[in-house]
């Protein structure tokens, strides 16, 4: 069966360090993978999209890698700040003629301590 796994345990790090979150998947062949941030009681907010033929994507302090052989994506936040504390969701596409469909992982909660 298809699975998307993110570490359900909260990740606690010190301000200024690099946070690394993992997304593993099985039985998917996504054309692209997306990362979203979700704050408590709010809708997810898009952060980055990486395509299957891209190894790495960067945006300011964020970096995403995508290894289709390992079936894994890593999401890095460098120089982390308390304001980065949130839940981070990865999502895989299963695009079809009916639109842009995503399946989300359960998310990893990041806590950045000052």
Partner 1 sequence: DAMVIQNPRYQVTQFGKPVTLSCSQTLNHNVMYWYQQKSSQAPKLLFHYYDKDFNNEADTPDNFQSRRPNTSFCFLDIRSPGLGDAAMYLCATSTRESEQFFGPGTRLTVL
Residue closer to partner 1, measured from CB, 8 or 81 = 8
Helix/strand/coil for 85 = coil
Whose Cβ is closer to partner 1: residue 10's or residue 79's?
10
- CB of 19 or CB of 90, closer to partner 1: 90
Tokens in use for 61?
């302090």
Task: State the minimum distance, in angstroms, from the CB of residue 90 to partner 1.
Answer: 10
Shortest approach of partner 1 to residue 20 CB, angstroms?
20
Q: What b/e sequence results for 65-91 when a residue is b if at least 16 CB atoms lie within 10 Å of its CB, and e otherwise?
A: bbeeeebbbbbbbeebeeebbbbbbbb
In the bound state with partner 1, the residue whose beta carbon lies nearer, of 3 and 17, is: 3
> Would you tell me how many other CB atoms lie within 10 Å of the CB of residue 112?
20
8 A C-beta contact, residue 72 and residue 87: no
CB of 111 to partner 1, least distance (A): 14
What residues line the site for partner 1 (CB under 8 A)? 4, 8, 34, 41-46, 49, 89, 95, 97-107
């Amino acid at each position: 069966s298809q699975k998307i796994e993110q570490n359900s345990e909260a990740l606690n790090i010190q301000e200024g360090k690099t946070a690394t979150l993992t997304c593993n998947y099985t039985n998917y062949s996504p054309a692209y993978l997306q990362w979203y941030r979700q704050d408590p009681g709010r809708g997810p907010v898009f952060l980055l999209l990486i395509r299957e033929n891209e190894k790495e994507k960067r945006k300011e302090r964020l970096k995403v890698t995508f290894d289709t052989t390992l079936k894994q994506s890593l999401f890095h936040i460098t120089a982390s700040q308390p304001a980065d504390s949130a839940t981070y969701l990865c999502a895989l596409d299963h695009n079809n003629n009916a639109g842009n469909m995503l399946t989300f992982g359960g998310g990893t909660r990041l806590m950045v301590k000052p």
